[in-house]
Amino acid sequence: MDELSIRSPAVAGMFYPGSLSSLANEVNNFLAGAGIGLVTAPKALIVPHAGYVYSGAVAASAYACVASARDSIRRVVLLGPTHRVAVRGLALPMSAAFATPLGQVPLDTEAMAGLLNLPQVQQSDAAHALEHSLEVQLPFLQTVLKEFKLIPLAVGMASDVEVAEVLDLVWGGTETLIVISSDLSHYHPYADAQRLDRETARQIVALHQLASHEQACGATPVNGLLLCARQRGLKAQLLDLRNSGDTAGDRSRVVGYGAFALIEEVDDVQ
């Protein structure tokens, strides 16, 4: 890992505000509108990754749920689909930190080095340089958490099992939060999108694998998480389900957004 390398923000000023004050205000307003969140902090989240005007409020409903664990979460494993660069497997960056207008997030380079022992994991700065699916999550994480390290993985052509193997290695305990970045259906009329996304949400809550990237652009990392969730006995909960016709834009061709929390079952102590 190049300890001098910092991945600069690629979509600041486009997907979200480019100035510190404007970005902080917008994220805090979204979180305030989302309310308190869950009583039990989730182990994993599934959140959308569009521009904040479109999906920021939906994402905030998930991030509000981890505020109660801000003192315990010290690492975030963040997976999102690649949009610009084709990748076989999963790609880690070679940088040592990711930057946003809110500051720098150090990467967990020790854990990342361990992941490179898996054949499906490679290094690729190109896969991360312009990728928005991971970047747009960082300001929310920087706001709801204290100091934390990041493991960012750009997910390309991989199997559910390959993704699950990666997650298993860095699953950790209460100090580790897993975030999967994914939008839902794309460019359907409003009513059609509602129907499609409700069915996708039903499958995610039931921990059933998604059949197609037509359901969710991040279906590959979502399915890897769902596989781990079934094996580990997690429960999934739908937090918010909307589309761009509800938030911004017309209703003739919309993009769907869902927010989900996955919670580890804790045995009651008698």
Handedness of CA 55, 209, 180, 186 (dihedral sign): negative
**For position 269, what pLDDT does the model report?**
41
Please, what sign has the CA dihedral across residues 225, 226, 231, 234?
A: positive
Tokens representing residue 225 in the block: 């998480």
Q: Which two tokens stand for residue 114?
A: 């361990």
Rounded to the nearest 10°, the torsion over CA 214, 217, 221, 224 is -10
> Residue 35 — left, alpha, or beta (φ > 0 → left; ψ -120 to 50 → alpha)?
left
DSSP state of 208: P
Task: Provide the residue-wise pLDDT of the chain in tens; the chain has 270 residues.
Answer: 444 599 999 999 999 999 999 999 999 999 999 977 777 899 999 999 999 999 999 999 999 999 889 999 999 999 999 999 999 999 999 999 999 999 999 999 999 999 999 999 999 999 999 999 999 999 999 999 999 999 999 999 999 999 999 999 999 999 999 999 999 999 999 999 999 999 999 999 999 999 999 999 999 999 999 999 999 999 999 999 999 999 998 999 999 999 999 999 765 443
Look at residues 20, 76, 23 and name the one whose alpha carbon lies nearest to residue 51. Answer: 23
pLDDT at 268: 45
Residues in the chain: 270
Residue 132 φ/ψ, nearest 5 degrees: -90, -20
Amino acid at 170: V
Q: Which of 242, 185, 177, 240 lies closest to 211, judged by CA?
A: 185
Task: Tell me which DSSP letter residue 37 carries.
Answer: -
CA dihedral (154, 160, 163, 169) in degrees, to 10, reads 170
Domain architecture of the chain: domains with CATH? 1-54+61-144+157-173+259-270 (3.40.830.10)
> What pLDDT is stored for residue 270 in this prediction?
39
Say what the pLDDT of residue 2 is: 44
Q: Which residues contact 71 (CB under 8 A, 6 or more apart)?
A: 146
Sign of CA dihedral 228, 231, 232, 238: positive
